[in-house]
């Protein structure tokens, strides 16, 4: 497990080819934010122009680069320019800005790679495989029968609509209700259902 995590981390550290494109714009990642973690964050170094990367897209909020150790041809990462260690630490406005670029960027990637599908993935937390603790979204182009995920060959089980599932749904709705009542969630206007 540790070797796998190290391999994933290294994949983001070593670009495979040199870029002739313009260098990445200076970061709005203030050095020293989140207890100085941006000084060691590979994505913050890329954003500041201190580490090489193949840039696909950039705006005031986010940057999209080719993953340096891709799972498929065209595997790319959308990264916020400010350092947030996890999805839950990332402000909703930043997540929205990143997600709003997915249709635009993924369409370009699919056309450039000849793919007609893609996976959108966030590894959030160590148990989920996150090894670079700076929020990022993976766009992974796919082709039919590429056998990228071993789980695709697993038979999926039907959810049993029993007491255990009902209790889980109740616990999630309870947490959503609690979060919805917090200051940050009041302006989102979402409603919770209790079917």
The residues annotated as belonging to the active site are 136
139 by DSSP, 3-state: which? strand
HEC profile for 59-116? CCCEEEEECCCCCCCCCEEEEECCCCCCHHHCCHHHHHHHHHCHHHHHHHHHHHHCCC
- Nearest-10 crossing angle of helices 102-113, 92-100: 30
List of residues 6+ apart from 29 with CB closer than 8 A: 38, 41, 44, 47, 48, 81, 82, 83
List of residues 6+ apart from 37 with CB closer than 8 A: 83, 85, 133
Give me 69's structure tokens: 């150790």
**CA atoms within a 13 Å half-sphere pointing along the CA-CB vector of 56:** 21
Bridge partners, residue 64, by sequence: 57, 78
């Amino acid at each position: 497990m540790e070797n796998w995590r190290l391999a994933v981390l290294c994949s983001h550290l070593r670009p495979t080819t040199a870029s002739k494109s313009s260098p990445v714009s200076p970061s709005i990642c203030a050095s020293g934010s989140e207890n100085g973690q941006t000084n060691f964050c590979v994505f913050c170094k890329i954003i500041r122009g201190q580490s090489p990367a193949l840039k696909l897209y950039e705006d005031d909020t986010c940057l999209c680069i080719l993953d340096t150790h891709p799972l498929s041809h065209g595997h790319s990462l959308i990264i916020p320019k400010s350092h947030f260690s996890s999805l839950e630490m990332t402000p909703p406005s930043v997540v929205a800005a990143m997600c709003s670029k997915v249709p635009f960027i993924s369409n370009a990637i699919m056309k450039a790679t000849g793919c007609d599908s893609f996976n959108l993935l966030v590894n959030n937390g160590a148990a989920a495989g996150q090894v670079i603790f700076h929020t990022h979204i993976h766009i992974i182009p796919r082709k039919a029968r590429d056998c990228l995920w071993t789980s695709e060959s697993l038979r999926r089980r039907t959810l049993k609509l029993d007491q255990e599932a009902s209790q889980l749904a109740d616990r999630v709705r309870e947490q959503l209700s609690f979060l919805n009542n917090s200051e940050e969630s009041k302006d989102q206007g979402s409603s919770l259902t209790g079917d």
